[in-house]
């Protein structure tokens, strides 16, 4: 098949998927509102229970931090769907819902929405890396670095940084400025400043009511745990051995969506608390499909079930894949890159 014919076939297939998934894009306002209630109310209830427990010296109740962090992750998934215009039919409802949730997740909605849109438009494109992605070097680029450059990249990709210090820095510090969009107009600045101010007012009020130490004892572990889980989910959605990267010349939206995004096949409780975000290849194919309709797509198109499928156990091995090998078209570890030299 010559290149022209191949491109035409890809385009036909692309259009067929868009047409096939179009019926799933329609949200239900009632269902979306119920999902918000089923997430926000348990989160607030758990937070209040934790606060009363800490104030009365019942430290054993700190185990509630784990489910509270889970519901905070789910709130972020709802905010994520708002950013894609998927949770409600009207953009204004999506935007204001996302902005309010952003105060809880410490994520400035309008700023994040723009960077995330860049991620969707460029995922898997080697020539357009840098915004909304986990930094990923090719083997050739890594070998061309100085010793100090290699050390910086190794530290950045180390699990203790990537899933320890990194999430805390991202949600507590980095999202306080519109990094990457600082010269992109007023909206990113307004988003970060207003979200930070809203969170600061809530934090100051709660500290005044219950004391700084008690507040931090409740909130800080929830924030850090949820941030780590969120970064892990984003990482595993694209950083797996047989993911897809290509140069802009050969990059294709559907190929990048289907083969550059994973199907993180989690146990049912984790699938619910993460808002089906593990069905990420379908999400990249049709970002306007509400999260609660993604399982319907897998049910109706079983061929998508095994595409990029990763189980919970398999995902634990993905942290060692850190460099893109253009020779074998897969992610490799530092050791594999060294041996291939």
Could you give the CA distance from residue 81 to residue 278 in angstroms, rounded to a whole number? 14
pLDDT tens digits for 66-112? 999 999 999 999 999 999 999 999 999 999 999 999 999 999 999 99
Q: Is residue 210 part of a domain?
A: yes
H-only helix segments in the chain:
3-21, 29-55, 65-83, 91-105, 109-122, 139-143, 147-157, 159-160, 166-168, 186-210, 212-238, 253-260, 268-273, 280-285, 294-300, 312-315, 334-340
Kindly report the number of other CB atoms within 10 A of residue 279's CB atom. Answer: 27
b/e burial code for range 111-126 (CB count within 10 A of at least 16 → b)? bbbbbbebebebbbbb
* Number of neighbours of residue 49 by Cβ within 10 angstroms: 15
In a domain, 255, yes or no: yes
Q: How far apart (Å, rounded) are the C-alpha atoms in residues 97 and 117?
A: 18
Nearest to 21 by CA among 287, 280, 258, 253: 287
Summarize pLDDT for 10-59 with one digit per residue, the tens. Answer: 444 555 777 889 999 999 999 999 999 999 999 999 999 999 999 999 98
How many domains are there within the chain? 1
Specify if 5 maps to a domain: no
Give the CA dihedral 327, 330, 331, 333, nearest 10 degrees. -60
Buried b (16+ CB within 10 A) or exposed e, 225-258: bbbbbbbbbbbbbbbbeebbbbeeeebbbbbbbb
Domain assignment present for residue 88? The answer is: yes
Tell which wins on pLDDT, 130 or 283: 283
Tokens representing 63? 């185990």
Q: Is residue 256 assigned to a domain?
A: yes
- The pTM assigned to this predicted structure is 0.92
pLDDT average, residue stretch 225-250: 93
Looking at the DSSP bridge assignments, the partners of residue 137 are: 323
The pLDDT of residue 9: 43
Sort 134 into a burial class: Cβ within 10 Å, 0-12 / 13-18 / 19+.
middle
50 located within any domain: yes
2 assigned to some structural domain: no
- DSSP-derived secondary structure letter, 138: E
The model's pLDDT over 111-170, given as tens digits with 9 standing for 90+, comes to 999 999 999 999 999 998 877 788 999 999 999 999 999 999 999 999 999 999 999 999
Query: Phi, psi at residue 332, to the nearest 5°?
Result: -130, 165
Measure the CA–CA gap between 9 and 252, rounded to whole angstroms.
12
Parent domain of 158: 23-340
The answer as to whether 3 is a domain residue is no
């Amino acid at each position: 098949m010559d290149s022209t014919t191949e491109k035409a076939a890809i385009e036909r297939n692309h259009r067929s998927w868009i047409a096939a998934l179009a019926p799933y894009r329609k949200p239900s306002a009632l269902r979306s509102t119920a999902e918000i209630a089923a997430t926000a109310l348990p989160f607030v209830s758990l937070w209040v229970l934790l606060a009363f427990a800490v104030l009365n010296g019942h430290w054993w109740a700190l185990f509630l931090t784990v489910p509270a962090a889970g519901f905070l992750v789910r709130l972020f998934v709802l905010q994520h769907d708002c950013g894609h215009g998927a949770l409600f039919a009207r953009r204004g409802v999506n935007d204001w819902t996302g902005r309010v949730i952003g105060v809880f997740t410490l994520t400035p909605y309008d700023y994040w929405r723009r960077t995330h849109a860049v991620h969707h438009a460029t995922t898997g494109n080697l020539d357009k890396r840098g915004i909304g992605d986990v930094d990923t070097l090719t083997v050739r680029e890594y070998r061309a670095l100085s010793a100090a450059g290699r050390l910086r990249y190794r530290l950045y990709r180390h699990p203790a940084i990537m899933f320890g210090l990194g999430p805390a820095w991202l949600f507590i510090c980095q999202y306080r400025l519109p990094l990457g969009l600082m010269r992109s107009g007023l909206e990113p600045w307004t988003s970060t400043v207003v979200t930070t101010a809203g969170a600061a007012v809530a934090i100051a009020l709660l500290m005044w009511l219950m004391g700084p130490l008690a507040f931090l004892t409740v909130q800080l572990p929830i924030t850090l745990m949820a941030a780590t889980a969120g970064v892990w989910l984003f990482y595993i959605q694209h950083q797996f051995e047989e993911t897809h990267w290509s140069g802009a010349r050969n990059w294709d939206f559907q190929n990048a969506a289907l083969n550059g995004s994973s199907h993180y096949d989690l146990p049912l409780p984790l699938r619910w608390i993460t808002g089906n975000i593990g069905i990420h290849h379908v999400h990249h194919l049709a970002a306007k499909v509400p999260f609660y309709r993604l399982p319907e797509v897998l049910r109706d198109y079983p061929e998508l079930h095994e595409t990029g499928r990763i189980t919970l156990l398999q995902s634990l091995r993905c942290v060692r894949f850190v460099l893109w090998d253009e020779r074998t078209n897969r992610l490799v570890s530092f050791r594999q890159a060294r041996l291939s030299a």
